[in-house]
Amino acid sequence: MANLTRRQFTAALVGGLGATALSALTGCRLGTEAGELTAAKPSGAAVRSGVDWSMAADIRRAISLPRIPPNDFILTDFGAMGDGLTDCTEAFRKAIAACTAQGGGRVVVPAGVYATGAIHLDANIELHVQEGARIAFSTDPKKYLPAVFTRWEGMEMMGYSPLIYAHGVENVAVTGMGILDGGADEGTWWPWKGDANSRHWSLIEGEDQAAARRSLERDADANLPPSQRMYAEGSWLRPSFIQFYSCKNVLIEGVTLINSPFWLLHPVLSENVTVRGVTCHSHGPNNDGCDPESCRNVLIEDCLFDTGDDCIAIKSGRNADGRRVNVPSENIVVANCRMADGHGGVVLGSEISGGVRNVFVENCEMSSEHLERAIRIKTNSVRGGVIENFYVRDLRIGQVQDAVVVNFYYEEGDAGDFLPVVRNIHLDNIRCQQARRAFYIRGYQRSPVQGLTVTNSSFEQVAEASVIEHLDGGLARHVNVNGKQFSFKG
């Protein structure tokens, strides 16, 4: 799939889903699928929140796009050479500085291949990568120094600069039909993940993230100020590809991202974020496609995700650090997106300690033998957090391992004092052609999943029975699994 054009990728993905029409069934009863249903008896009434699908339209209307002045600054006018060899880092810096001096505008990258280190954007700046242009980012870690204020797996620190970075600015964008190439592969960046998750890349003893990751967790638990958490050179914590931190009015549109060191699109503590028509194709470790974290008013639409980790993962900080910052991700719309490979299609968690609310997912397609889950919530009693008001409709799934997952036992299991709360989840018109399991729902007895409704949905060619533990206020109506009516009711 690495050599497919965007059009070919779309055709292959959509074509694999087929066009089988599945009609909803009337009536409901306790159903089975390839064996006995494993379930705790649910009780209680569904949770009602006052939130419904009309809010998705309100969120769209509330989001402001960046306002970019009509000034163009052509990168090659500042000494850049599109030969793939010349270091253009200084040319990018000069072009952005000149644009800023004029009050903002577009820094235009024309056709060619431009080698560079980190690119830092200012307010009122649009980095426009024209069709035929490729920005080839260096794999030399020194190109991402000095350290910047960043978030890494939900914990604030001073670390390597993201490849494209902005902090505390308004009106910022990355657009165009060009390619952003992070340069990561089995020999660069990805081996820093370490032995446990390596595939076939070359590892150098001591050059992995394990020790620094543990140290950063200890710093966060001890409430060491983030400005004193120094984790750049020598720590082996890989940088995100694009990170806009504490920004307002953000647009990422049209570009294709490949070969990312770490998470691809990572807006943090930002407001009014639009990600539109973007292709994410990167299969390294922790190669999440788009991870809005502690963001408000976010639209992700018309994107393609083919990734080594979650396609979209909505987050809000990890453990003690997430509770310290205590800002949820809220008011998020995901629409008309395509997901191929990934650990999950649309995911909430696991860095979720600040909470997530008001998420709307509609008209998306997901299919791949390497897609592990379609809809996924992952948390535990170390993470904690409140996840509420999660709406999904008109979802078409071709091939997946588990279709709908809510798991309170992710990683640490039940080892903490911060009970996760998951409530008010609504799924309607889900059409799944092939799955190992339709549902994998595991709450805690003392904190069950509350108010899960599934309506007008079909799951075909399901190999194993669903697992449903500790569900309170669940309702399945007009749901078909392997040609039989299926329901959980409480």
Query: Which residues are annotated as catalytic?
Result: 309, 343
Strand order in the sheet with 119-120: 119-120, 164-167, 242-245
Phi and psi for 125 in degrees, rounded to 5? Answer: -115, 135
Rg over CA atoms, the chain: 22
Letter for the amino acid at 342?
Answer: G
Please answer whether residues 161 and 138 qualify as being in contact, where contact means their C-beta atoms are separated by less than 8 angstroms: no
Q: Which amino acid is at 490?
A: G
Q: 470, 490 in Cβ contact below 8 A?
A: no
CA neighbours closer than 13 Å in the CB half-sphere of residue 2: 8
- From the list 191, 188, 182, the residue with the least C-alpha distance to 162 is 182
Reference 355, options 411, 306, 421, 402; nearest CA is 421
Whole-number Cα distances in Å, 265 to 106, 274, 345, 362, 365: 20, 11, 15, 20, 20
Residue 86's DSSP bridge partners are none
Cα separation, 229 vs 326, whole angstroms: 19
d(CA 313, CA 345) in angstroms, rounded, equals 8
For 229-246, b where at least 16 C-beta lie within 10 A, e where not — what string? bebbeebbbbbbbbbbbe
- Which tokens hold the place of 427? 């799924």
CB 263 within 8 A of CB 241: yes
CA angle 344, 272, 227 (to 5 degrees): 80
Residue matched to tokens 């807006």:
267
Task: List, in sequence order, every residue forming a beta bridge with 83; answer none if it has no partner.
Answer: 113
Backbone φ and ψ of 9, nearest 5°: -60, -45
CA-closest candidate to residue 441, choices 131, 56, 39 = 39
Task: Give me the phi and psi of 176, to 5 degrees please.
Answer: 110, 175
